[in-house]
Structure 1
Amino acid sequence: MESTLQNMARPSRFDTPRLLDAAVRLAADAGPSGVTMSAVAAAVGAPSGSLYHRFPGRSALLAEVWLRTVEGFQEGYFEALESSDDPLSGARAAARHVVAWSRTHPREAALLLYGAHDFGHDDWPDEYLLRAEDGNMQVRAAMAALAGALGMHGRPALDRVTLAVIDLPLAVVRRHLRGGHPLPPHAEDLAEQCTTALLADG
């Protein structure tokens, strides 16, 4: 009885965060195709059953790897975007966050240079598709709110805002990460300058 209670209290050597961390490393090094159930299990020295106990199949694993990474990034991104009453200052902070987060999370940032479809989006179980759509709706709402706060209206204005606070900061990151190089110390400043150039006279 005592032995049983000890086993029940002992934390799992192969908990979900550890398995997902291994999957992120595999994705960063070899792309989404490198993330398989057997590869993740081997990376942490776990039996394959540890994966199937948590994920019904590879599509669910890929979905969780992608969504956990995106949601972790978005948490700080939205905080930066709303960090000031001045919408332009918030936009600049968001642009800097893209680069700063990528600097401190290079593997996760390398993963985000792909897209959800690279991680098998079309085969995701419904619960993951709903999570993904919820995140996309939050981004669209944030871009629309920023455009409105800046006094910019219409689809061209929305595209301009999205380019300024998402696409261009990611472009600053992409070239260095894809080349396997660290981000230069001026990368945050460059992202902020791009954002300002697009939005200051919007």
Structure 2
Amino acid sequence: MGKQGYHHGNLRQALVEATLTLIAEKGPQGFTMAEAAKLAGVSTAAPYRHFSGREALIAEAARQGFEIFVTRMEAAFNDARPNPLTAFMATGRAYLAFARSNAGHYVAMFESGLSVNSNPELADAAARAQAILTRAAAALSAHLPTDRRPPAAMFAAHVWAMSHGVVELYARGTPGARAPFPPEDLLESGISVYLRGLGLIPPDSTP
């Protein structure tokens, strides 16, 4: 594995980039601080100038991932905002696209066993990501009578769980190669079934 090196004054980010590479290759528990240092092209002592240990490195990778995730989810939502249904479906597609293009970030965020409350910056970024989907759910469910309207946070959590399941089973790694249908189609059809059950999509329509 070749050294990546780093520009003077940017050791912290060089270590995060090395961590993302190692997470994608070996998983969040499959590497050491020494390996991150080696990949970044620095001494084994150098990472401790910025991070207390591997968990702190992973937490920063996760925080940066949530920041990217927020930007992409917001763009997807805002681009389709005039139509609440289209905007809601767009956030689901953005979720899958992020998981594919930012594998190291995604694992750090959702599969490392790290608590999002491990530091305030990470907690804030994670909360902003959740808020986008909750906002999209609230805008869509506003079309339902109040007595049949699920809490927006619950609505969002159901779709988040569905999105995560599609990613885990069909959108990444070897399992993805065995997907019976494209992951985007699986997620969109699953969300459509959910929305029909709520009465937000007529039985014979396509979102």
Could you say which TM-score interval applies, normalised by the shorter chain?
Answer: 0.7 to 0.9
Are 1:135 and 2:125 matched, yes or no?
A: yes
Distance 1:11 1:139, change over 3 A: closer
The 8 Å contact of residues 91 and 195 in structure 1, kept in 2 or not, is answered as: no
Are 1:81 and 2:77 matched, yes or no?
A: yes
Structure with more of its chain in helix, by fraction:
1
Over the aligned positions, Cα root-mean-square deviation in angstroms equals: 3.0
Letter in 1 for 2:32: T
Deviation of 1:88 (Å): 1.0
Question: What is the aligned partner in structure 1 of residue 204 from structure 2?
Answer: none
Match of residue 34, structure 1, among 26, 30, 35? 30
Distance 1:64 1:42, change over 3 A: same
Gaps of 5+ in 2: 1-5, 201-207
Gaps of 5+ in 1: 1-9
Aligned equivalents of 2:191 and 2:76: distance in 1? Answer: 14
Are 1:49 and 2:45 matched, yes or no?
A: yes
Aligned equivalents of 2:26 and 2:39: distance in 1? Answer: 13
Are 1:194 and 2:184 matched, yes or no?
A: no
Distance 1:137 1:110, change over 3 A: closer
Deviation of 1:50 (Å): 2.6
The 8 Å contact of residues 88 and 196 in structure 1, kept in 2 or not, is answered as: no
User: Which segment drifts farther, 48-57 or 84-93?
Assistant: 48-57
Question: What is the aligned partner in structure 2 of residue 7 from structure 1?
Answer: none
Match of residue 114, structure 2, among 116, 119, 140? 119
Greater RCO (Cα-Cα under 8 Å, separation 6 or more): 1
Aligned equivalents of 1:114 and 1:83: distance in 2? Answer: 29
The 8 Å contact of residues 62 and 120 in structure 1, kept in 2 or not, is answered as: no
Question: What is the aligned partner in structure 1 of residue 20 from structure 2?
Answer: 24
Question: What is the aligned partner in structure 2 of residue 179 from structure 1?
Answer: 174
Matched residues, percent identical?
23
Distance 1:107 1:134, change over 3 A: closer
The two structures have a TM-score, normalised by structure 2, of 0.72
Letter in 2 for 1:133: A
Match of residue 101, structure 2, among 100, 104, 129? 104
Deviation of 1:182 (Å): 5.1
Distance 1:16 1:178, change over 3 A: same
Deviation of 1:113 (Å): 4.1
Question: What is the aligned partner in structure 1 of residue 158 from structure 2?
Answer: 163
The 8 Å contact of residues 63 and 119 in structure 1, kept in 2 or not, is answered as: yes
The two structures have a TM-score, normalised by structure 1, of 0.74
Letter in 2 for 1:119: L
Distance 1:145 1:99, change over 3 A: closer
Aligned equivalents of 2:45 and 2:30: distance in 1? Answer: 19
Letter in 2 for 1:168: M
Superposed CA deviations along residues 72-118 of structure 1, whole A, max 9, x for unmatched, are 22210122122221111111111111112222233333444415xx1
